[in-house]
Amino acid sequence: MATAFASRVSAAGACAGRELAQNVTSRGAIASLAEARVTSHSASLSSSSWFGSRAGLKQVVRYTATSQSGAGRVMATIAVGDKLPEAQLSYFDKEGAAQAVKVSELTKGKKLVLFAVPGAFTPTCSSKHLPGFVAKADELRKAGVDTLACVSVNDAFVMQAWGQSAGVGENVLMLSDGLGKFTQALGTAVDLSDKVEGLGIRSRRYSMLVEDGVVKVLNLEEGGAFTSSSAEEILTSLQKASV
């Protein structure tokens, strides 16, 4: 009887050992998969100024294990036809009061033009991207746009000051994604920690047309390049859609 009991204990131990080994192997495989995908989604692009070119781009890839035994997955970048992820953004209203707004509140039943910049007060963003949308604000509204908004991974105070210095008035809603949660949910975050300017996690430059929360047009730049995300590009898309 003692011998039978010992045999059962030995068999149970062997089974537990096999399960542990399989679990460790599975976790190792998941980690390897994540590492491989992160490597494949990182890029190093050469030029002298990141904010007006493609230099130093390294996209932030988020890895999530779907379950203890399931494989991991890399969150995809937002695409045409996708619904914008829910997130909370902030801004200062015309009375100077800080406000929080959910993405769903901005987009429900509305036509929104949203454009993102790597940083407030940075060269290309200040001289071309933001001023272009301010200049075309009236035309965009005549084309059916309800809200025109700029978002950046900066705090609301910085976005307010930048908007005031650029003379946006009520033409453009200056939105803060201070913690970068919306940017990361979109899959458009870039790690600029290696830059001497002390930038950290920022957003790729883009412009998009969103109708009732769904992306209809997306002009996503590589890093800080400024080639396809202008107000003119969005306006052209709207005009073509109305023909």
CA-closest candidate to residue 205, choices 167, 151, 161: 151
Q: Is 125 a catalytic residue?
A: yes
Tell me if 92 sits within 8 A of 135, measured CB to CB.
no
The answer to whether 133 and 145 are in contact (CB under 8 A) is no
What ranges in 83-196 are assigned the alpha helix state H? 103-107, 123-124, 130-135, 137-142, 156-166, 181-186
Phi, psi of 173 (to 5 degrees): -80, 120
**202: burial class by Cβ within 10 Å (0-12, 13-18, 19+)?**
buried
Burial code of 210-239, b = ≥16 C-beta within 10 A, e = fewer? bbebebbbbbbbbbbbbebbbbebbbebbe
Q: How far apart are CA 171 and CA 137, in angstroms?
A: 6
Nearest to 54 by CA among 222, 201, 229, 226: 222
The closest of 218, 214, 239, 182 to 110, measured between CA atoms, is 214
Q: Which of 125, 130, 208, 234 is catalytic?
A: 125
Q: Would you say 176 and 91 are in contact if contact means Cβ atoms under 8 Å apart?
A: yes
Q: Answer whether 226's CB lies under 8 Å from 54's CB.
A: no
Q: Which residues are catalytic?
A: 125
